[in-house]
Structure 1
């Protein structure tokens, strides 16, 4: 299992130490909150951890998220036209489905194991180490609303 893959019961302190990062209250709070709230924006993360820490600056949250991404503890998803989304599920070959109506984002499992799930026919000389797939459509709620509007 990769360092950043989040099991049911996480030990954020051990994960930070294994990744070579200092254990700080903001890092622990951000990583713990994000484990229960995947696909969150940086603003949502800040609001979520502010309840625990009392207050936390945007810059602190951005710094923690960047350090987490660099260490493989956090993954960033950047759907076109939406703010960057962060999650703790890393180190596997899952992808995402995004609603065009409301922006809701969900995981889509893929083959577990060696990355990438997909290999290009012609890699143009690149060494490919990751495939990022975004599926776009309408979630059940937006699809239902869209169907109602058409009546």
Structure 2
């Protein structure tokens, strides 16, 4: 796995460093994690790495297109390795869990703007909001909400 990550860094081209490899490995194993979680995972492997170094690595990897930064409204920024396919996300309003959703329909940018105002659109960002299965099980809808949906 390390050789593959090294090749990805060289292809963009970025220098291969232990912090960059550790961040890429952390994001491969746990998509949609915030900076604090990235720091904790990297520090488990490299205890002396600074917060600033991790921020710098995340910025460099994002700028190079190896990592995607997402920030749903009202949430902290998250990072993922899935890049280049213009996929979307579904976010749980209760616990904040995030999952990938493939392109809504058609070729990229997935959605055709009703009025593009002359822009050349190359990406669409859609965030679906709802309740994840775990939270829905813990807090079922009130009877009135269930009845309204079935009429």
- TM-score normalised by structure 1 residue count: 0.87
Q: Is 1:104 aligned to 2:97, yes or no?
A: yes
Deviation at 1:52, TM superposition (A): 0.8
The alignment covers a number of residue pairs equal to: 143
Change (3 A) 1:115 1:52: same
Post-superposition offset of 1:93: 2.6
Q: Look up the SS of the partner of 1:47 in the other structure.
A: helix
CA–CA separation in structure 1 for the residues paired with 2:31 and 2:48? 21
SS of the residue corresponding to residue 33 of structure 2 reads coil
- For 1:10 and 1:127, the matched residues in 2 are separated by 38
User: What CA RMSD, in Å, does the superposition of the two structures yield over aligned residues?
Assistant: 2.3
2:19 is matched with which residue?
26
**Does the residue aligned with 1:142 lie in a helix, a strand or coil?**
helix
The residue that corresponds to 1:131 in the other structure is 124
TM-score (norm 2): 0.87
Structure 2: tracts of 5 or more residues without a match: 144-151
Are the structure 2 counterparts of residues 116 and 9 from structure 1 closer, same or farther at C-alpha, using a change threshold of 3 Å?
farther
Instruction: Tell me what 1:143 maps to.
Output: 136
Bigger RCO (CA 8 Å, 6+ sep): 1
- Residue 81 of structure 1 and its aligned partner are, at CA, apart by 1.0
- Compute the displacement of 1:19 (Å): 0.4
